[in-house]
Amino acid sequence: MRPGSDFDVAVAGGGVVGGTLAALLGGFGLGVALIEAGEPPLGPTDPEDARVLALTRASERVLRAIGAWHTIESEPIGCFREMRVWDEGGSGAIHFDSAEIGEPTLGYIVPARLIEAAVCAVHRHLPAVTAFRPARLETIAWGRERVDLRLADGRGFSARLVVGADGAASRVRALAGIEERVRDYHQSAVCCTAVSEKPHGEVARQRFLETGPLAFLPLADPQRSAIVWSTQSEAAQLLLQESDHDFRKRLTAAFDSALGAIVETGPRTAFPLVRGYASRYTGERVALVGDAAHRIHPLAGQGANLGVMDAATLAEVLQDAHRAGSDLGELRVLRRYERWRKGENTAMMLVMDLFKEVFGTGLAPVRLLRNLGLSATDAAIPLTRWIMRRAAGLEGDLPRLALETARVQGRRSDRGGW
Ligand SMILES: Cc1cc2nc3c(=O)[nH]c(=O)nc-3n(C[C@H](O)[C@H](O)[C@H](O)COP(=O)(O)OP(=O)(O)OC[C@H]3O[C@@H](n4cnc5c(N)ncnc54)[C@H](O)[C@@H]3O)c2cc1C
């Protein structure tokens, strides 16, 4: 390998998912080129970006493993010990409590820019990671043993494998000729912060309205929550245009005053909601992770978590291949990653769609059924526990880095070392 011009792996996209993957691979000693179009994040107080992500315990473990979590937890971040989900019209409700599964918390609410800044700081201490930032990937030429990449500023280098972590409009996916199947929900999510009269008590709350779910996610300040309000695109535009006073009144009513009156709100932004999935995650010398491979409805806050699991799984597969002396870009190696993640991601996407369909209709029989279903779920404790462990990322076919310590011991010997 010629340092500075040839790499083992090129990762296009340095968001939460691509950044995590680069840190994992660099930590294993693989030569990584990270190409990111944006400027380095300023940190948690970046005024440009107020997005927050609900992170599962599994994502926490992966971020801890790369050395980013201590930076994240040194800032004031929200955590949720309970989840309450209920519905506008009926009596059905679900309540999840971390104590029921013996865990201190179900997850965390963290500004996306804080995660990106913490991961970026990890890269600076990894000599194996070379960051091209800001730089845009322009073209890829596929050779038999390597891919040649060219950036928009004219720089070029080669790698044995290129990974598309470049989000919804992935250039890597397009250049590799991988089709994305898209379904427009014709909805947008209006996001902002809100201060409520009553404290949130570290409970994540979601109320299903006829028009879509409205979530209040608890931030570090006991009275401040991050709001994700999914509704029809035209209605979302109206919510953006309303005066602060009218918006707060509407928000208080839509949330059924569950936290009393909303007394303050921050700037509002709307994100269009689209479901997308790549027809395949891999090809010769190419793999897709995160939103480049799949986009799901944000109603359960799982998108970035699935992407972090993609990154940890692909890193595990590549580390095993490297140790075995295999070619990292070989389709045979990459298919193991695709088989592992595609099923998990598709299942989550289908569950989100089912939720959206069932809750998105005003038909009385469906409403009755969903309420029965919700209440039945609450009553069926073992099933509730299973859902809770799954949503918190404590259940499922997880990569080694995302497993609990006790289970890692078993998996290490099961899979022949780490
Ligand atoms: C309203 C809303 C709320 C959400 N809430 C949650 C939540 O609570 N929890 C959760 O897990 N998920 C949530 N998600 C989903 C989550 O935001 C995404 O799944 C996640 O951010 C995807 O990360 P990524 O790194 O794959 O892509 P991105 O974050 O899109 O990053 C892609 C990166 O690639 C770069 N890039 C693009 N093209 C190029 C190029 N040609 N060259 C170089 N760089 C390039 C971009 O600059 C960008 O930094 C939510 C989504 C929405 C819309």
State the residue range of the domain holding 209. 185-273
CA distance 348 to 342: 10
Task: Report pLDDT digits (tens) over 361-375.
Answer: 555 544 555 555 655
Cα-to-centroid distance, 224 and ligand 1 (Å) = 24
- Boundary-marking domain end, from 273, 306, 338: 273
Average pLDDT over residues 366-385: 56
| Residue 149 alpha carbon to ligand 1 centre in Å | 22
**Rg of the chain in Å (alpha carbons):** 22
**Domain identity same for 56 and 192:** no
In 105-238, the DSSP E strands lie at 107-111, 129-132, 137-142, 147-151, 156-164, 180-196, 203-209, 212-218, 224-232
Q: Do 385 and 312 share a structural domain?
A: yes
Domain presence at residue 86:
no
Distance from the CA of 412 to the center of ligand 1, in angstroms? 31
DSSP state of 102: T
Q: Where among 273, 290, 324 does a domain terminate? A: 273
Give the nearest ligand 1 atom to 168 CA: 30
- Residues 47, 134: one domain? yes
User: Which residues, 6+ apart, have CB-to-CB distance to 44 below 8 Å?
Assistant: 75, 111, 113, 114, 117
Domain CATH number, residue 202: 3.30.9.10
Give the range among 35-49, 140-154, 310-324 with minimum mean pLDDT: 35-49
| Residue of minimum CA distance from atom 51 in ligand 1 | 298
Of 80-84, 284-288, 378-382, minimum mean pLDDT range: 378-382
Distance CA 126, CA 49 (A): 26
Examine residue 131 and state whether it is found in any structural domain, yes or no: yes
Domain contains 95: no
- 208 versus 168: the higher-pLDDT residue is 168
Q: How far is the CA of 290 from the centre of ligand 1 (A)?
A: 8
Angle among Cα 254, 257, 260 to the nearest 5 degrees reads: 140
Judge whether 143 lies within some domain: yes
Write the residue with the smallest CA distance to atom 4 of ligand 1.
298
Does the structure show a pLDDT above 50 at 173?
Answer: yes
Tell me what pLDDT residue 220 has: 94
Instruction: Please report, as a single letter, which amino acid is at residue 162.
Output: V
Q: Which residues line ligand 1 (CB under 6 A)?
A: 12-18, 35-38, 53-54, 136-137, 165-167, 171, 189, 191, 228, 271, 290-291, 298, 301-305, 307
Query: Which of 24, 42, 166 maximizes ligand 1 atoms within 8 Å of its Cβ, making it the mutation to test the pocket?
Result: 166
Question: Which of 273, 304, 329 is a domain's end point?
Answer: 273
What is the b/e burial string over 345-359, where b = at least 16 CB atoms within 10 angstroms of the residue's CB?
beebbebbbebbebb
374 within 8 A of 93, measured Cβ to Cβ? yes
CA of residue 291 to ligand 1 center, whole Å: 6
pLDDT at 18 over 80: yes
368 and 233 in a common domain: no
Instruction: Tell me the CA–centroid distance for residue 100 and ligand 1, in Å.
Output: 32
What's the pTM? Answer: 0.90
pLDDT-derived band at 314 (thresholds 50, 70, 90) equals: very high
- Chain-wide mean pLDDT for the chain? 87
Same domain, 299 and 173: yes
In this predicted structure, what is the pLDDT of residue 95?
81
CATH number at residue 352: 3.50.50.60
Residues 6 or more apart in contact with residue 163 via CB below 8 angstroms? 9, 10, 11, 12, 18, 21, 172, 286, 287, 288, 289, 314
Q: Whose CA is nearest to atom 29 of ligand 1?
A: 15
Greater confidence, 32 or 375? Answer: 32
Ligand 1 centroid to 15 CA: how many Å?
A: 6
The single-letter code of the amino acid at 269 is T
Residue 272 Cα: closest atom of ligand 1: 53
What percentage of the chain carries pLDDT values higher than 70? Answer: 84
- Best probe residue, ligand 1, of 20, 35, 36 (max atoms within 8 Å of C-beta): 36
What are phi and psi for residue 257, nearest 5 degrees? 50, 30
121, part of any domain: yes
Question: How many domains is the chain partitioned into structurally?
Answer: 2
Mean of pLDDT values over 64-74? 96
For residues 327 and 329, give the distance between their C-alpha atoms in angstroms, rounded to a whole number.
6
Beta strands 129-132; 32-35: pairing state? parallel
Rounded to an integer, the average pLDDT of 165-185 is 96
pLDDT at 395 over 80: no
Same-domain status, 24 and 173: yes
What is the best residue among 291, 306, 308, 314 to mutate for testing ligand 1's pocket, by most ligand atoms within 8 Å of CB?
A: 291
H or E element in which residue 120 lies: helix 112-124
pLDDT digits (tens, 9 = 90+) for 124-164: 999 999 999 999 999 999 999 999 999 999 999 999 999 99
Atom of ligand 1 nearest to the CA of 166: 34
Query: Which ligand 1 atom lies nearest to the CA of residue 273?
Result: 53
CA 178 to chain centre: 21
- Do both 215 and 241 map to the same domain? yes
The 8-class DSSP code of residue 290 comes to G
What pLDDT, on a 0 to 100 scale, did the predictor assign at position 403?
Answer: 78
Pocket test for ligand 1, best of 49, 53, 59, 352 (most atoms within 8 A of CB): 53
In testing the pocket of ligand 1, which one of 16, 48, 59, 162 has its CB within 8 Å of the most ligand atoms? 16
Residues 176 and 198 grouped into a single domain? no
- C-alpha 414 to ligand 1 mean position (Å): 34
347/289 same-domain check: yes
Same domain, 281 and 252: no
Q: Is residue 89 part of a domain?
A: no
In a domain, 84, yes or no: no
Asked if 293 and 361 sit in the same domain, the reply is yes
Nearest atom of ligand 1 to the alpha carbon of 54: 8
Q: Measured in Å, how far apart are the chain's first and last C-alpha atoms?
A: 25
| 151: in domain | yes
Same-domain pairing of 265 and 280: no
